Amino acid sequence: MTPPPYSLTKLGNLSLLRVPMPAVASVTALIFANTGSRYEEKTEQGIAHFFEHMVFKGTKSFPSAQLLSSTIDTLGADFNAFTSKEYTGYYIKAASRHLPVALKALSEMLLSPLLKDEDIEREKSVIIEEMNMYHDTPMQYVSTLFDRLVFPDTGLGHDILGTKAVIRAMTRTQFVSFLNRWYGQGNVLLVLAGDATALLDPKLEAQIDSLFAGQASDRLPDKQVLTPYLNEQTLQPERLHIENRTTEQAHLILGWTGLERTHQDKHILTVLTTILGGSMSSRLFSEIREKRGLCYYVHADADFYHDVGIVGASAGVDPTRIEEALTVILKEFRALASHEKPVTQEELTRAKEHLLGTMTLSLEDSQTVAQFYGMRQLLLNEIETPQQVQDKIQSVTLADVTRLAQSLYQPGEQRLAVIGPFPDKTVFERFLA
């Protein structure tokens, strides 16, 4: 696959990344901010996500949430935002003829959000209901418990949504301080992906420069603000968390230390987790669902952060058979690492083709392309093209997978988080040996 060309330019202190896509009539305008829940102080946990909500409540030219949303809706556009542990994103995807309006809306959302006191107070209830929703969705909430187990008392360990007590206490002063600290031009990246004609318009840079020129000089944060948070100790002594709850299905995550985002074996790990639990023909899916009927969902995943990572498996199983499911999961990890059940060439080829195929399909969409290129530039300060990623996946060998599996699978180092009707946690201790 030939990747679309891209260009990275500086407009003052703003970084602009353009990825023209031939024969595409839409454009995704995406702004990444180099901040997330990991970098929050304990007294403001949840503010990165809360701030993401607040920018949709009104700006200088669009002074209410209704006016802002109706303006974008009139374009027939798709717009949303997302907050992760290490970055935040805001995007509008629209027909390319509407790009000027999309850029104006995005620029004002991040340059001049009104942050009204009454809107903040009202949105507190919305955030708390979002917390309640996730808490009542154990399939998702178990990942919060696992992160808390693996990274206690660190930025990676707390919930992106924060706590109810902290959310209720937040003030406009905190939001203004957060905006000034993290949303300077030097800390954001504007990505445009889509219609090549629109992106190569010679007037575009001047339009963007005029929209973002109002950025105040004191909104250029010192990158050293990240330093204190990047030396966190990982994988603490506590290794088991059971939340005893009456549920029809038990939800679990079992995992180990993984790899940081820049690790040279990152693509090998992606192939490894695909073989273990990344598709309907994977080992865990075949053994736990198809052969034993223990679950509806089961998969293996890897999360990559700035300086650490985790790898593991998650599943939703019949509570009366959770011990059987955990036994099989551990057996499959051990069998791969010990060469007891070595990866076959057929499995390796299938995993590679699965990854390459899903990537190709996803990159037909301008929003996915914007995220693909933008996240690499933001988090790695370099661009890895789709072709380069595919080449690295293709280069993975059987020996690579076995070597990495042996390195990551460390008996006695696994962590386990479970939600389900289990008043006695001791029954799970044997799975930590």
Q: Are residues 332 and 184 in the same domain?
A: no
**Confidence at residue 3, expressed as pLDDT on a 0 to 100 scale:** 44
> Distance between CA atoms of 99 and 93, rounded to whole angstroms?
9
Measured CA to CA in angstroms, residue 298 lies from 214, 288, 361 at distances of 49, 8, 23
pLDDT tens, position by position, for the chain (433 residues)?
444 589 999 988 889 999 999 999 999 999 999 999 999 999 999 999 999 999 999 999 999 999 999 999 999 999 999 999 999 999 999 999 999 999 999 999 999 999 999 999 999 999 999 999 999 999 999 999 999 999 988 899 999 999 999 999 999 999 999 999 898 867 899 999 999 999 999 999 999 999 987 554 444 444 444 544 445 555 556 899 999 999 999 999 999 999 999 999 999 999 999 999 999 999 999 999 999 999 999 999 999 999 999 999 999 999 999 999 999 999 999 999 998 999 999 999 999 999 999 999 999 999 999 999 999 999 999 999 999 999 999 999 999 999 999 999 999 999 999 999 999 999 999 999 9
Do 215 and 267 fall into the same domain? no
Does the CA dihedral 243-248-254-260 come out positive or negative? negative
Closest CA relative to residue 111, chosen from 209, 250, 255: 209
pLDDT for residue 153: 85
The pLDDT of residue 5: 81
Same structural domain, 250 and 121: no
Asked if residues 63 and 114 have their Cβ atoms less than 8 Å apart, the reply is yes
Domains in the chain, number? 2
**Domain match, 81 and 148 both:** yes
Angle between helices 266-277 and 398-408 (to 10 degrees): 90
Residue 286 domain flag: yes
Q: Is residue 233 one of the residues assigned to a domain?
A: no
Rounded distance, CA 44 to CA 212, Å? 27
Q: Are 323 and 194 members of one domain?
A: no
Residue 410's nearest CA partner among 377, 433, 390, 381 is 433
> Is 52 designated active site?
yes
Among candidate residues 176, 188, 220, the one with its CA nearest the CA of residue 30:
188
What residues make up the domain containing 426? 240-432
Q: Same domain for 199 and 269? A: no
Angle at 37 between CA 34 and CA 42, to 5 degrees: 130
Q: What is the CATH number of the domain that holds 153?
A: 3.30.830.10
The pLDDT assigned to 161 comes to 98
pTM recorded for the entire structure:
0.93
Ordered strands of the 26-33 beta sheet? 7-11, 14-21, 188-195, 26-33, 88-95, 78-83
Does residue 61 sit in the same domain as residue 168? yes
The catalytic position among 40, 52, 108, 123 is 52
